[in-house]
Amino acid sequence: MPRPQKERFVCCQPRNDSFSPGSCPHGQPVMLTVDEYEAVRLIDLENCTQEECAAQMRVSRTTVQGIYSCARWKIADALVNGKKLIISGGDYATCKCCGEQCGRGFLKQCSKRSCRKQQPGGTNMNIAVAYENGNIFQHFGRTEQFKIYEIKDGKIAHSEIIGTMGNSHGALAGFLSSHKVDTLICGGIGGGAQQKLSEAGIRLFGGVSGSADEAVTNLLAGKLSYDPDVHCEHHDREHGDEGHSCGDHGCENSRKE
């Protein structure tokens, strides 16, 4: 028997579900599925790579290539031949955290919560938390320990504390990647480090404080409170030079309260 098609995740339902030429439409309407629409939105509008799109939709890159290619052909057919385009159907699940289209996706951090589904169940990932004495360490660039949680089927299967071995700032992204981390929870973090994490495909939940274990539990339950616009708030002390400008590595100025 063929394997059932894997459910594709989308940010939300499209705001507009049909488009028609100004003149009388020709031929049969073109049916674009919601997951095809999402692939076009992420790749063509949000400028995501196919790999990033696959990560957000939680399918393979090969699957995204097929979805995207089919969607582009359908859109071209509607535009060139003057057909009505209808967006409907498909095997997909919508993000449960927004309720309306944020238009940004988890890669750029939804203004309300990560647009990648945070519901427990069917979720496997490795979460790292900047760690100190059971709590979330607030200076990412000076983190000496991470607590890494292995998540299987939406539940914590294993956790361990590892030292950073002197790595700091941009090097920490590579360090986390080497431990197969795909999600990070931390306190303050600079723009340069955020960029490195994005390039490594690691989702960021910054501006979080309190218990590390509780933060992970809340993330899995879709209840984690974090700051999608977190900035470096302690760059002077972090670099040991009160007159130092962080612009040379992308660390942003302290966010005004």
- pLDDT score recorded for residue 169: 62
- pLDDT score recorded for residue 95: 62
Q: How far apart are CA 110 and CA 37, in angstroms?
A: 19
- pLDDT score recorded for residue 8: 81
Q: How far apart are CA 184 and CA 219, in angstroms?
A: 11
- pLDDT score recorded for residue 53: 85
Same fold for the domain at 8-94 and the one at 125-249?
Answer: no
- pLDDT score recorded for residue 2: 44
Q: How far apart are CA 209 and CA 189, in angstroms?
A: 13
Domain at 8-94, CATH from 1.10.10, 1.10.3430, 2.60.40, 1.10.1220: 1.10.10
- pLDDT score recorded for residue 145: 93
Per-residue pLDDT of the chain (257 residues; tens, 9 = 90+): 444 456 688 887 888 889 998 888 888 899 999 999 999 999 998 888 888 888 888 888 888 899 999 999 999 999 999 999 999 888 888 765 443 444 444 443 343 333 433 333 335 789 999 999 999 999 898 899 999 999 887 889 999 999 988 766 668 888 898 888 889 999 998 888 888 887 777 888 889 999 999 999 988 887 888 887 776 555 444 444 333 333 333 333 333 33
Residue 32 in tokens:
């674009």
| Sign of the dihedral defined by the CA atoms of residues 202, 186, 221, 109, in that order | negative
Residue partners of 150: CB distance under 8 A and separation at least 6: 126, 156, 157, 158, 159
Domain extent listing, the chain: 8-94, 125-249
- pLDDT score recorded for residue 148: 95
pTM of the model: 0.49
- pLDDT score recorded for residue 104: 40
- pLDDT score recorded for residue 213: 95
Is 147 within 8 Å of 131 (Cβ atoms)?
A: yes
- pLDDT score recorded for residue 133: 94
**Third-level CATH fold of 125-249:** Nucleotidyltransferase; domain 5 (3.30.420)
